[in-house]
Amino acid sequence: MLTSLLCGVVLLQSAAAAAELPGSVRDLPGARAAGGESTLETRGFSIASSTTLNGRKINYWWNGNTKECIRVATYDGHFEDVTVASHADCKQRSGNGAATAAAVILRTAAVVGAVAQSQMHDHNRYDHQGSSQYRRGYDDGINRRGYNNYNNSSAYEDGFAEGRRARRGNDDGDYGPYGNFGD
């Protein structure tokens, strides 16, 4: 089940990456800047903001009809890079419903995958907590005995680690089972 979920997340991410650049501007990377700007205007885009970064002119273009914001980096008279930008970059408040939904789906899938992986790890750990190897490891860890995992058992290893954590939580130092006598 986890494998299927992770495959689904990868497919969603791949689909999102492929669909990231709107079809109306996929032909523009590499175009001459003057012709590219005219093309953007005829396709309904207008400049929302501009800046210069590392010798490249960066323009954010907004299309009010399609609610798309793109970032165009121009260098040496050509559109060097065209990418999707956030609506905030184009000084817009709300996003494209489809893009927002896709982003929510991707974030949700990532969270679900992380939770499933965490639960699977916890499930494996709790599966062997009742085993004799876990109990032996826990006893060795809490009673300050040496690590003796002669069966090379992950249950012993987990039990030993848990026993040491429990011991540290109950210790006031490394002096053995003696009380502190203060005021």
Encode pLDDT of 105-126 as tens digits: 656 666 666 555 655 544 455 5
pTM value? 0.43
Give yes or no: residues 89 and 139 share one domain: no
Give yes or no: residues 89 and 130 share one domain: no
Residue 110 lies in a domain: yes
In Å, how far from its chain's centre is CA 20?
18
- Host domain of residue 55: 20-94
Q: What is the pLDDT of residue 14?
A: 38
Helices marked H in 19-143 — which ranges? 33-42, 97-127, 132-142
Give yes or no: residues 90 and 25 share one domain: yes
Give yes or no: residues 50 and 114 share one domain: no
Across the strands, what pairs with 23?
none
Q: Give the integer Cα–Cα distance in Å for 90 and 70.
A: 8
Give residue 46's pLDDT band: very low, low, confident or very high (50, 70, 90): very high
Give residue 55's pLDDT band: very low, low, confident or very high (50, 70, 90): confident
Could you count the other beta carbons within 10 Å of the beta carbon of residue 69?
Answer: 24
Average of per-residue pLDDT across 11-24: 56
Q: What is the pLDDT of residue 19?
A: 46
Average pLDDT, the chain: 76
Residue 15 lies in a domain: no
Residue 165 lies in a domain: yes
Residue 117: CB partners within 8 Å, gap ≥ 6?
2
* Residue among 79, 80, 49, 81 nearest 62 (CA): 49
Q: What is the pLDDT of residue 148?
A: 87
Give yes or no: residues 75 and 128 share one domain: no
Kind of pairing between the strands at 68-75 and 45-53: unpaired
